[in-house]
Amino acid sequence: MSRIQSVFASLKSQNKKALIPYITAGDPHPDQTVPLMHAMVAAGADMIELGVPFSDPMADGPVIQRASERALVHKMGLRKVLGMVKTFRETNQQTPIILMGYANPIEAMGAAEFVTLAQASGVDGVLTVDYPPEECDTFNQTLAAAEIDSIFLLSPTTEPSRTELIVKQATGFLYYVSLKGVTGAANLDITEVKKRVAEIRQQTSLPIGVGFGVKDAATAREVAAIADAVVVGSRMVLAIEQSDAANLQSNVQALVKELRTAIDSV
């Protein structure tokens, strides 16, 4: 059982849902990423989704695009991100880390080398936005051999036949994109999300996380009522953007605690 699977099993036994905050590695500065990761765990994060900065994203909205731009100014790349995970693991062996990014940096490094380094660093899951399930059998097998979960996105427009293909490839959990468009683009329709999550559950026993539209504690509470995990990205990154060095950690922790309280109230 992977760390991700273990956390979901533990939470389920407690009738709790997972909180998975997202931050972009290197934003606002590389020196602050690992301390922010520890701060989020201390405030109640169950897992961390760590974004790999990329210059040409497809799924990221303006807030996360700006975070990538800030990180890239500091020459952040995939190797440095993996180094951050390794540093985090020096004092935290429990909290799952999921890398979220795009195929280009992985292909540039070489998929086999990436998986080797990811395993050595302590990465638990990989979500690659633009690796279609039809084309990543070999990559998934390499991840599986390294005991790293392969996380896939499902969207409101994913057809049942394609969902079936994706759930066969996925491990760890499924990430349902709660709205059409990029991260942070609109307010989600919780009724529609509930319907789609129920349909996905008919095709898989994997836990289902919901993200892309969770902007506040009230929405997090609604999502927690129907999903196994609440993923919060743009709102977390906005808190970082609106902070300075003096209040960065405290602002991020306050937001995580607020979300944690809301999720636990379900």
Supply the residues annotated as catalytic: 49, 60
Which among 138, 111, 123, 237 is positioned nearest to 172, based on CA atoms? Answer: 123
CB burial of residue 246 (10 Å; 0-12, 13-18, 19+): exposed
3-state percent breakdown (helix, strand, coil) of the chain, nearest 5: 50, 15, 35
* Three-state secondary structure string covering 89-126: HCCCCCCCEEEEECHHHHHHHCHHHHHHHHHHHCCCEE
Torsion angle of alpha carbons 52, 54, 59, 65, nearest 10°?
100
- Look at the block and give the residue holding tokens 């939470």: 11
Contact 257, 265 (CB under 8 A): no
